[in-house]
């Protein structure tokens, strides 16, 4: 168990380090801005005295190391500054948007994992045949497509032509009653979730297939076959269970891509999550919100990554934390 405790401590330390690097990065990136944040308020009437006062209010008249320390201190307290365009604390602006992104990315992650396991297994059962080839080719091609365009096509087909589902936003204000509201939210979720899932399937299907193919050469598979087990049992019970462990790591590593994809998907569907918020903030040069949004997405990814690793560290007795074999 000592090994496990050490693994958990090291993995957690790594997660904290990642968040720290992300925060430091945002601090210095925002220092690259020409001028200083007072110019963002773009008030031509601003007198030098007022400007000085503003600078002092923001703590910008102090040397960089002190500003940096203050910034980190405020960050730890959850203070992300004030949104320029909405004149509201960044933390509350983000708190409004984050649940939608978590809903979209979370449901899509779940769906991606389930579908890619299913398709991965199909390619193994039909290995070398046309089904195998079609699944591999189509999932890889889907991954090479530009997400906003896939979103457009899905909107056009399911929303415009078939008129099955709403093509924008996350809710319909006309929905009343809790059950109707839930159905409404789900209906708005389907299309963006579909887009995000389709474009993320490829690497997972391929990875599962490759590791299954490798495992199928292992001795214990030969033993299982020699014991007279059916091919179905060999694949599902023996090979698949062993392939799931590395698969979990890859799913964890895909989280970042998932979030990047969600940003683009939300923009096209006008889905009110962090991605949409980022798009609007880019248009309005709302740097505090951009900074907060990036940090929040980074923390989300790091947290779920840590969770995946810890769960699978507990599940797999062979795992030992270390960089080299």
Interface ranges with another protein (CB under 8 A) = 14, 17-18, 21-22, 25-26, 29-30, 32-33, 140-141, 144-149, 152, 155-156, 160, 167, 253, 255-257, 259-260, 263-264, 267-268, 278-279, 282-283, 285, 287, 290-291, 293-294, 297-298, 301-302, 305, 323-324
Residue 91's alpha-carbon distances to 20, 87, 88, 97, in angstroms, are 18, 12, 8, 10
Closer residue to another protein in complex, CB, 197/305: 305
DSSP per position, 265-285 = HHHHHT--SHHHHHHHHHHHT
**Least gap, CB of 262 to another protein (angstroms):** 9
Name every residue whose Cβ is closer than 8 Å to that of residue 278 and which is 6 or more positions away in sequence. 263, 267, 289, 290, 293
DSSP-based three-state secondary structure for 65: helix
Closer residue to another protein in complex, CB, 101/197: 101
Closer residue to another protein in complex, CB, 94/235: 94
**Least gap, CB of 298 to another protein (angstroms):** 5
Name every residue whose Cβ is closer than 8 Å to that of residue 77 and which is 6 or more positions away in sequence. none
- Other C-beta atoms lying within 10 Å of the C-beta of residue 38: 18
**Least gap, CB of 29 to another protein (angstroms):** 5
Closer residue to another protein in complex, CB, 121/293: 293
Name residue 109's beta-bridge partners. Answer: none
**Least gap, CB of 30 to another protein (angstroms):** 6
- How far is Cα of residue 164 from the mean position of the Cα atoms in its chain? 27
**Least gap, CB of 199 to another protein (angstroms):** 10
Closer residue to another protein in complex, CB, 156/220: 156
Tokens of 157: 């087909």
Tokens of 123: 């390619």
**Least gap, CB of 241 to another protein (angstroms):** 27
What letter would DSSP give residue 40?
Answer: G
Closer residue to another protein in complex, CB, 39/230: 39
């Amino acid at each position: 168990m000592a090994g496990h405790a050490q693994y958990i401590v090291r993995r957690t330390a790594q997660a904290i380090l990642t968040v720290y690097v992300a925060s430091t990065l945002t601090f210095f990136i925002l220092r690259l801005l020409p001028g200083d944040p007072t110019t963002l308020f773009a008030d031509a009437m601003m007198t030098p005295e007022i400007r000085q006062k503003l600078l002092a209010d923001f703590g910008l008249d102090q040397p960089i190391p002190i500003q940096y320390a203050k910034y980190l201190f405020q960050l730890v307290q959850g203070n992300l500054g004030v949104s320029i365009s909405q004149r509201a604390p960044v933390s509350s602006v983000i708190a409004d948007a984050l649940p939608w992104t978590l809903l979209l990315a979370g449901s899509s992650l779940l769906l991606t994992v389930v579908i890619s396991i299913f398709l991965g297994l199909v390619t193994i059962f039909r290995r070398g045949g046309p089904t195998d080839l079609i699944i591999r080719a189509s999932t890889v091609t889907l991954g090479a497509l530009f997400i906003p365009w896939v979103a457009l096509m899905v909107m056009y087909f399911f929303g415009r032509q078939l008129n099955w589902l709403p093509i924008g936003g996350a809710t319909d204000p006309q929905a009343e009653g809790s059950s109707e509201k839930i159905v409404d939210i789900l209906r708005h979720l389907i299309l963006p979730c579909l887009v995000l899932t389709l474009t993320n399937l490829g690497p997972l299907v391929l990875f599962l297939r490759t590791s299954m193919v490798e495992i199928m050469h292992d001795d214990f598979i030969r033993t299982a076959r020699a014991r007279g087990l059916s091919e179905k049992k060999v694949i599902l019970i023996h090979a698949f269970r062993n392939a799931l462990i590395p698969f979990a790591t890859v799913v964890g590593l895909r989280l970042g891509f998932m979030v990047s994809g969600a940003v683009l998907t939300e923009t096209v569907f006008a889905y009110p999550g962090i991605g949409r918020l980022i798009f609007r903030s880019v248009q309005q040069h709302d740097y505090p919100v951009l900074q907060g949004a990036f940090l929040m997405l980074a923390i989300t990814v790091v947290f779920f990554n840590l969770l995946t690793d810890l769960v699978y560290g507990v599940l797999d007795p062979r795992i030992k934390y270390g960089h080299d074999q």
